[in-house]
Amino acid sequence: MNEHVRRIDVAPALAPDELHRPRRVVFLGTAHDNGGSSVLAGNLARAMRAQGYDVEEWYLFSSPADPEHAQVFSGAGRSSSPLQLARLFWRVVHELRARKPDVVIGLQPLSNLVVGAAGRLAGIPKRIATLHNPAGEFRPSLMRLDRICGSLGLYTQVVACSASVAETFRHNGARYCDRLAVIRNGHAPPAVVERRQARAELGLPLEGVLLGQIGRISAQKNQDFSVSLLPGIAGAQLVLAGSGPDEAAVKARIAAQGLSDRVHLRSAIDHSRIGAFYSCVDLVLFPSRFEGLSLAAIEAVHAGVPLLCSDIPSFRELFASRPLLTSTLLLPLSDRNAWLARIHTLFDDALLRKEIVAELKALSPSYTFERMTHDYVRLIEAA
């Protein structure tokens, strides 16, 4: 990692007299798209409220997934109109001046820019930008503005969700990286249930091998790759949990390959029932083209379900402390045959599967939601 990028390490919990409550905190997102940053912010907000913080969730644009309690500035969909963006900007400035939060935290590239500039104009003392994907996956124009905001100090802090994401921003220079720290994503363990019960709950076959993929149906998550594996795994079925912009194209591919009776599509599962997904599958597939640090993959680790992942930096980071997981669960997307061979191995070699499950159990404590929440609280409370 670049020498300017620092890491926030896990430390003992803060004693009550070390916290200066109540703190007023605002999370500002571009739109709630059920993606990792929005889910993470909602979970953090609930946890921080339970600790006595006054926390609000704001979004610039509305979406079907808007939380009931969130403040949304525009009832229309996302817009790149300069006039509308200017109006939204000044509405945020006005609202920040009225609410006077101690901290405002951005969730996505556009909302990060608003946090930095509007927060500065409104006199908000702590303005935190968060980075949830590699720099190269965002629009270059937004990244140029992000670099300016960080270098000029409009952000008082920049937080990357993983070391691999932080590394992609090192080209922004020393003044930006001096404000850049890593708080690794963490997630709560899913509530697992008995396998047949889970399959019945989701309307899936009660018997047989079931592969699964969960996440937004999009080019990033690469569900097409999972579908392409199915003809090479005799008798297996696949459940795709999620929705998104590529849903129609994925459905068309399934039909074209004659796999409609072997692929089961389930729309986004409410988080209170997400444990049923991990309980019913034998193997979770993550053929992502890129990730920050996947919350779904962390859930699979907590559930102790073997997961086969694309060999990209974020998944290498996830498994870095466990050589067996690195050597068995990471594969290049360019080699479909390697994926098929590894899937067969994971089902045929009971001892290897047992060792993998044990390694996942040992890895799980490194990615707890409590650890991540504690690190964000430390960041907010720091002088």
- What is the model's pLDDT at position 10? 37
Q: How many CB atoms lie within 10 A of CB 304?
A: 17
Position 299 pLDDT exceeds 50:
yes
* Residue 149 · residue 157 · CB < 8 Å: no
* Residue 153 · residue 128 · CB < 8 Å: no
How many domains in the chain? 2
pLDDT band (50, 70, 90) for residue 4: very low
Estimate to the nearest angstrom the gap between the alpha carbon of 366 and the chain centroid: 16
Instruction: Round the average pLDDT of the chain to a whole number and report it.
Output: 91
User: Is 247 part of a structural domain of the chain?
Assistant: yes
The mean pLDDT value for 211-230 works out to 96
**Cα(182)–Cα(2) distance, rounded to whole angstroms?**
12
- What is the model's pLDDT at position 23? 86
Note the pLDDT tens digit of each residue in 177-204: 999 999 999 999 999 999 999 999 999 9
Residues 286 and 297 in one domain: yes
- What is the model's pLDDT at position 323? 98
Note the pLDDT tens digit of each residue in 55-96: 999 999 988 766 778 899 988 777 788 899 999 999 999 999
Residues 215 and 301 in one domain: yes
**Cα(357)–Cα(51) distance, rounded to whole angstroms?**
34
Distances in Å between the Cα of 199 and the Cα atoms of 65, 274, 275, 278, 367 are 26, 12, 11, 10, 27
The mean pLDDT value for 363-375 works out to 96
* Residue 359 · residue 366 · CB < 8 Å: no
Q: Which of helix, strand or coil describes residue 368?
A: strand
Note the pLDDT tens digit of each residue in 242-280: 998 999 999 999 999 999 999 999 987 877 889 999 999
Residues 153 and 94 in one domain: yes
Residues 47 and 176 in one domain: yes
Please classify residue 16 by burial: count the beta carbons closer than 10 Å to its beta carbon, then call 0-12 exposed, 13-18 middle and 19+ buried: exposed
Percent of the chain exceeding pLDDT 90 equals: 82
* pTM of the predicted protein model: 0.91
CATH number of the domain at 136, please: 3.40.50.2000
The DSSP output letter for 339 is: H
- What is the model's pLDDT at position 22? 59
User: Is 376 part of a structural domain of the chain?
Assistant: yes
Position 2 pLDDT exceeds 90:
no
* Residue 80 · residue 3 · CB < 8 Å: no
Residues 120 and 41 in one domain: yes
* Residue 280 · residue 211 · CB < 8 Å: no
**Cα(186)–Cα(172) distance, rounded to whole angstroms?**
26
User: Is 1 part of a structural domain of the chain?
Assistant: no
Strands of the sheet with 103-106, listed across from one edge: 6-7, 180-182, 157-160, 126-131, 103-106, 24-29, 54-61, 71-74
- What is the model's pLDDT at position 97? 97
Residues 376 and 277 in one domain: no
Note the pLDDT tens digit of each residue in 324-335: 999 999 999 999
Note the pLDDT tens digit of each residue in 272-293: 889 999 999 999 999 999 999 9
User: Is 256 part of a structural domain of the chain?
Assistant: yes
- What is the model's pLDDT at position 383? 52
Domain containing 105 equals 6-186+368-381
Please classify residue 146 by burial: count the beta carbons closer than 10 Å to its beta carbon, then call 0-12 exposed, 13-18 middle and 19+ buried: buried
**Cα(95)–Cα(227) distance, rounded to whole angstroms?**
47
Encoded amino acid at 318, one letter = L
Residues 92 and 233 in one domain: no
Note the pLDDT tens digit of each residue in 5-24: 444 443 344 444 445 555 89
Note the pLDDT tens digit of each residue in 102-125: 999 999 999 999 999 999 999 999
